[in-house]
Each structure stands twice: as C-alpha cells, then as structure tokens.
C-alpha cells in the first residue's frame, strides 16, 4: 500500500551548506509554501501543473519517486521552465516494502526505492527525501521494527545519502511506530548523522499528541514540515479530513512553536487535490499560518 492510498483510506561545513533552507522566503528568515505533487491532479503536462502551482502562490513542489528516466527529466525541465523548486521527494515504496520487514526481498525492494528517491532528489535539486522508516504489524513487533530499520538505514541508505548530500527526513505517520516526540527524538539522534533529520507532519499525531509539543521537543532536528487538518471524534475513534483551519489543529500555537525552535524552510500542504481556485485558497490559508493567524476567519 503506497502512501497516497494509505492516507486516503483512513557540524560539518558541507553538511551545514546542504542543510540550509532554500527559497527566497527561507533565505530571508521565513518560510516557503509548497504542495505535494498529487494535489495538482494528473491532467496536463508537468509544466502546466507546475505553472498552476506557481500561479496559485506556491514556491515549491514535493515530488514523488520516479523510476522512468524520461519522466524524471521531464519533471526537472518543468521545474526549470516554471521557476518552481522541487524541494523534497516523497519516497513511495516504504509502505509496500518496509525496511523493517523480516523478508530480505522486501527490504531489498525498499532500499531500491530509497536509492531511486535519493537519485531523483539529486537530479531535481531537492535537499530531502521523506522516509517512513518502519511499519509495526502482526509480522513485525515494535522492538524488531526499531532494530531492523536502524540497521538498514545505517548500513544501506545513509552512505548514499551522505555521498549525494541529501537529507533523509524520517516521518512519523500511522504506522504504529514513533508514537511520542521523545521517542522520535531518540530515534533520529541514534544515527549521529547530519543526514538524518525529522520530517514533521503536524497532523499525524493528533489522536495521541499535540503538534506544538512535538515541534518543541524535536527542535532543530526538523528539516521539513507537512501541514494537514482533521476533525476528531474521540468518542468514536474516527476522524474527518478537513481543509487547513477547519479541523482541530491549533495553528497559531503551531506557528509559535515553529518560531521558538527557529524553523526556516518549507511547509508543504498534503491534503486533497483541486483546481486552480482551490489551490489559491490553500496557499492563502498557508500565508495566514505563516503569519501566525488562524487559516480561516472564525
């Protein structure tokens, strides 16, 4: 199960240079707005879709893993033509083939997916690849998920990330793993590498935590941020997807926490796809988040 299907269903100078946030707003000490590529739909060329994002007010795109070289080159050309930055790559094989799997063939597939993602990032000028490091399930217990994923990342992914100077952004998501900010911090720190950071999703912990708490705990470890929103029904254990500002996230507090830890860089919307008018509205809501205001007037 890939990420999209899953979401819809429920100290070194070279290192310091590579980790510096890109984009005009980030360079000026602010934040940049981006959109995950699937939010642009699948109609038209990549140039058409990227132009739609640019015209809506977005600075960047989070792309997804591509294995066809011709498509990868098309995406690079579209970004250059439209003047939009591909700032990160969402790895696409960590759900179907988790690094924590007891099956060596699944792990091999997962590593290959990360290698493709890292090389995509290098080609496109992105500085980060998103990785869900492990999946806890009936076949894989928590302790095994921790140990196996760390071993594979350290031995088979980190060397290439270091060579290409691409950060691996570990994300917390609904995989029954990394269920507290303290644990997330410990997991990232265990690698003792500037090429392993935290990719924070401000919505994914909402059932069992508060994003502002996770932000303050993770601090400078945060390399990228996803934004989404939910309305929770805690009595029934259900949630409902909402546009930014229409759910239960305290956005001014999230922005305050990001400011306290000195986060500068991209915030990327990861919500439903839509047309040009919808994307402009999402961008406007993100502008208000960056300004420390509620995304929509109450």
Name the pairing type of β-strands 238-242 and 229-233: antiparallel
Name the pairing type of β-strands 60-64 and 265-269: unpaired
In the DSSP assignment, the letter for residue 40 is G
pLDDT above 80 (res 14): no
> Three-class SS of residue 295?
coil
pLDDT above 50 (res 175): yes
Separation of first and last alpha carbons in the chain: 37
pLDDT of residue 234: 74
Residues 286, 33: contact at Cβ < 8 Å?
Answer: yes
Residues 226, 189: contact at Cβ < 8 Å?
Answer: no
| Positions of E strands within 190-295 | 196-201, 222-227, 229-233, 238-242, 265-269
pTM greater than 0.85: yes
Least confident of 74-78, 124-128, 236-240: 236-240
Tokens in use for 47?
């140039």
pLDDT above 60 (res 23): no
Between vectors from CA 7 to CA 267 and to CA 161, what angle results, nearest 5°? 55
Return the residue matching tokens 């990160």: 88
Q: Which residues contact residue 104 at a Cβ distance below 8 angstroms, ignoring those fewer than 6 apart?
A: none
Maximum alpha-carbon separation in the chain = 52
Alpha helices for 83-229 (secondary structure H): 104-124, 142-152, 158-164, 181-189, 211-218
Return the residue matching tokens 């100077």: 165
> Three-class SS of residue 171?
strand
Share the mean pLDDT of the chain: 91
Domains in the chain: ranges and CATH: 3-289 (3.20.20.150)
pLDDT band of residue 25 (cuts 50, 70, 90) is low
pLDDT of residue 22: 44
Tokens in use for 146?
């921790």
Least confident of 21-25, 144-148, 150-154, 195-199: 21-25
pLDDT of residue 121: 98
pLDDT of residue 6: 37
β-partners of residue 34 are 60, 268
């Amino acid at each position: 199960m890939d990420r999209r299907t899953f979401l819809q269903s429920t100290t070194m100078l070279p290192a310091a240079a590579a980790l510096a946030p890109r984009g005009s707003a980030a360079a000026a000490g602010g934040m940049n707005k981006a959109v995950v590529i699937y939010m642009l739909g699948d109609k038209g060329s990549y140039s058409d879709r990227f132009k739609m994002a640019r015209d809506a007010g977005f600075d960047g795109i989070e792309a997804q893993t591509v294995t066809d070289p011709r498509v990868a080159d098309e995406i690079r050309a579209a970004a250059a033509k439209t003047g939009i930055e591909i700032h990160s790559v969402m790895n696409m094989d960590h759900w179907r083939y988790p690094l924590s799997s007891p099956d060596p063939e699944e792990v091999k597939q997962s590593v290959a997916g990360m290698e493709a993602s890292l090389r995509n990032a290098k080609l496109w000028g992105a500085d980060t690849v998103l990785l869900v490091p492990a999946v806890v399930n009936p076949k894989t217990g928590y302790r095994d998920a921790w140990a196996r994923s760390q071993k594979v990342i350290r031995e088979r992914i980190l060397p290439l990330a270091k060579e290409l100077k691409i950060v691996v952004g570990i994300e917390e998501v609904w995989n029954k793993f990394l269920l507290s900010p303290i644990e997330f911090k410990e997991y990232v720190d265990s690698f003792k590498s500037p090429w392993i950071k935290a990719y924070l999703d401000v919505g994914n912990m909402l059932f069992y935590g508060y994003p502002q708490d996770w932000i303050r705990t993770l601090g400078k470890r945060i390399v990228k941020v996803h934004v989404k929103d939910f309305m929770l029904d805690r009595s029934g254990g259900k949630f409902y997807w909402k546009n930014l500002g229409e759910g239960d996230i305290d956005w001014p507090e999230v922005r305050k926490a990001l400011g306290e830890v000195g986060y500068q860089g991209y915030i990327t919307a990861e919500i439903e796809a839509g047309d040009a008018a919808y994307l402009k509205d999402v961008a406007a809501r993100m502008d208000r988040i960056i300004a420390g205001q509620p995304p929509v007037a109450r």
